[in-house]
């Protein structure tokens, strides 16, 4: 119950304050600008998950697209996945190992991150794991319900994100090898495998075949680009361990290796099955040489379906090593496990990322690398001036005021708003300026359709409407970052849309600014 409470807290705390950013906007943009047919027939160069975009398109048609609807699905998938994994592992490990496994799943920064992101990873991984479990249970029992569950989950998982295809369809390679290695090669069983596996391939082809045929060029453009280095592998291990420190990461790697041996003794067939699927996933991802694969966070994301098994191996290894202590002092192993989990949380990114209030929990500032010295995004965003206005706001109680910041960049690598929020610790929304002073910038699709966004605000609303949900509007007139150049600039060579015309209109509506310096102009919406 403690692990469940911790997992729910990490995934749900402040979720109502979250501002969509980075690739979360890709599916919104696709849904807002394309027909359902166009969505189904394209993966897009800026990837969008086809079913996610279709889901958003339906919400747009109903006038209900909002942060709540966007985050509900990955949150539900992430929570259900953690609960399901613990239930599935209960016979594979000891009670101590199961408790540690539940704790590791609850606090894993990557599992927390993707459960909180409106992207396909949480749901695709949850479905991929369910499919692999169902295929294995079908192999053991031959029951129709397990085959049906696999056939439901497998195509949907791949449709959400192609990256899980090796893991999901690879089950038939592994089970075929098991069949070939068995002393009794039952032809009827082989035929059943061919029917279920073939049906899965046909269903998957029906979903991903059309966009593959129509949009293969975009997939090719993102393949054969990069390859991870040894440094990538080491830092990916640290991301999986959930800590910036190399020592805990190395210790967890040792425990995982020991745990594989322990699991192999307790459940040899299941361990072989999982180990083979993990190898298939790793080999395929490496062979793809996908774009940006040399970044640890990208490699970790593409191998996310493997992470629960790494954590299970860590839990099994730790439980096996601590078992002798439990024979003398039954409470000691549990105390050590609790202390280790607490230390992992403190050494990881969650305390800083979840500090209240934070409207940008998923920003790369927190999760691109857990070691700030290795974090290329932090190296770009943290240096630079902090307007005195934000320092003055820090004197007010945390979360007592609400700012609307505009214009802004939705990409983590160009978004300094999280840095400012770490200073002032007030609530933040972002503003769309295109309706007030056209043409606006990126990530302004919601002002073109009926929506229920709470944290993305159209500044063209009447003053009375703006006063209802914010205390200040902060206009950013300038953004200078060393990585913001070339194709990343907006038309006209600007980093941000020109806020000058917006400021003129706010001067007429709200009077003189409450604060102004070389980079920002601030208007108080509510007079003292």
Q: Are the beta carbons of 15 and 118 closer than 8 angstroms?
A: no
- Tell me how far apart the alpha carbons of residues 421 and 357 are, in angstroms, rounded to a whole number: 8
3-state secondary structure of 499: coil
The structure tokens listed for 36 are 């359902």
Quick one: how far is CA 48 from the chain centroid? 14
Report the pLDDT value the prediction gives residue 330, as an integer from 0 to 100: 74
Report the pLDDT value the prediction gives residue 326, as an integer from 0 to 100: 61
- Tell me how far apart the alpha carbons of residues 388 and 386 are, in angstroms, rounded to a whole number: 6
**Cβ-based neighbours of 182, under 8 Å, separated by 6 or more:** none
Report the pLDDT value the prediction gives residue 299, as an integer from 0 to 100: 96
Q: Which candidate, 24, 79, 11, places its Cα nearest to that of 56?
A: 24
3-state secondary structure of 254: helix
Q: Detail the DSSP E strand segments found in 409-455.
A: 427-432
Report the pLDDT value the prediction gives residue 327, as an integer from 0 to 100: 64
| The pairing of beta strand 456-458 with beta strand 402-406 | unpaired
- Check: pTM over 0.85? Answer yes or no: yes
Report the pLDDT value the prediction gives residue 329, as an integer from 0 to 100: 62
Q: Are the beta carbons of 429 and 404 closer than 8 angstroms?
A: yes
- Taking every pair of Cα atoms in the chain, the longest distance, rounded to a whole number of angstroms, is 85
Q: Detail the DSSP E strand segments found in 6-61.
A: none
Report the pLDDT value the prediction gives residue 485, as an integer from 0 to 100: 87
The structure tokens listed for 383 are 């240096």
**Half-sphere exposure (CA, 13 Å, Cβ side) for 40?**
8
In the DSSP assignment, the letter for residue 13 is T
Q: Which candidate, 474, 367, 374, 346, places its Cα nearest to that of 412?
A: 367
Q: How many residues does the chain have?
A: 528
Over residues 246-264, the pLDDT tens digits come to 888 899 999 999 999 999 9
| The pairing of beta strand 472-476 with beta strand 402-406 | parallel
- Tell me how far apart the alpha carbons of residues 128 and 307 are, in angstroms, rounded to a whole number: 13
Q: Respond yes or no on whether the N-terminal peptide bond of residue 439 is cis (omega within 30° of 0).
A: yes
Q: Which residues of the chain have pLDDT under 70?
A: 45-46, 326-329, 528
SS3 content of the chain, % helix, strand, coil (to 5): 65, 5, 30
């Amino acid at each position: 119950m403690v692990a469940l409470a911790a997992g729910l807290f990490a995934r749900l705390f402040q979720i109502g304050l979250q501002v969509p950013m980075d690739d979360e906007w890709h599916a919104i943009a696709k849904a807002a600008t394309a027909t359902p047919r166009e969505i189904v027939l394209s993966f897009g160069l800026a990837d969008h998950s086809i079913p996610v975009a279709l889901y958003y398109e339906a919400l747009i048609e109903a006038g209900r697209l909002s942060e709540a609807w966007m985050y509900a699905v990955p949150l539900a998938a992430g929570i259900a996945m953690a609960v399901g994994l613990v239930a599935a592992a209960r016979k594979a490990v000891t009670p101590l190992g199961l408790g540690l496994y539940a704790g590791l799943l609850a606090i894993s920064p990557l599992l927390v991150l993707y459960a909180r992101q409106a992207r396909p990873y949480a749901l695709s991984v949850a479905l991929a794991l369910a499919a692999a479990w169902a295929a294995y249970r079908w192999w053991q029992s031959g029951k129709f319900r397990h085959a049906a569950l696999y056939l439901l989950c497998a195509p949907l998982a791949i449709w959400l994100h192609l990256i899980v295809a090796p893991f999901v369809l690879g089950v038939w390679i592994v089970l075929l090898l098991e069949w070939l290695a068995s002393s009794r090669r039952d032809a009827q069983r082989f035929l059943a495998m061919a029917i279920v596996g073939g049906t899965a391939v046909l269903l998957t082809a029906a979903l991903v075949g059309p966009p593959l045929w129509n949009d293969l060029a975009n997939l090719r453009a993102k393949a054969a680009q990069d390859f991870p280095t040894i440094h990538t592998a080491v830092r990916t291990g640290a991301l999986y361990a959930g800590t910036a420190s190399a020592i805990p990461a190395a210790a967890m790697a040792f425990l995982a290796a020991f745990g594989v041996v322990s699991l192999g003794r307790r459940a040899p067939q299941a361990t072989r099955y999982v180990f083979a699927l993990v190898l298939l996933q790793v080999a395929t991802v490496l062979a793809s040489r996908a774009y940006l694969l040399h970044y640890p966070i990208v490699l970790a994301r593409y191998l996310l379906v493997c992470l629960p098994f790494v954590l299970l191996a860590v839990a099994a290894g730790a439980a096996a090593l601590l078992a002798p202590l439990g024979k003398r002092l039954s409470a000691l192993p549990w105390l050590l496990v609790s202390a280790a989990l607490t230390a992992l949380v403190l050494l990881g990114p969650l305390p800083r990322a979840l500090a209240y209030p934070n409207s940008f929990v998923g920003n790369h500032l927190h999760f691109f690398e857990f070691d700030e010295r290795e974090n290329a995004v932090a190296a770009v965003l943290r240096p630079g001036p902090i307007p005195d206005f934000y320092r003055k706001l820090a004197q007010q109680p945390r979360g007592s005021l609400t700012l609307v910041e505009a214009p802004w960049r939705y990409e983590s690598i160009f978004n300094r708003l999280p840095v400012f929020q770490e200073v002032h610790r007030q609530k933040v929304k972002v503003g769309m300026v295109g309706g007030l002073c056209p043409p606006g910038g990126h990530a302004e699709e919601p002002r073109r359709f009926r929506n229920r966004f709470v944290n993305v605000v159209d500044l063209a609303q009447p003053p009375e409407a703006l006063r209802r949900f914010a205390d200040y509007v902060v206009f950013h007139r300038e953004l200078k970052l060393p990585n913001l150049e070339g194709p990343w600039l907006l038309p006209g060579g600007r980093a941000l849309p020109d806020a000058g015309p917006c400021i003129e209109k706010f001067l007429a509506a709200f009077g003189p600014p409450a604060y102004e310096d070389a980079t920002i102009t601030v208007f108080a919406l509510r007079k003292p």
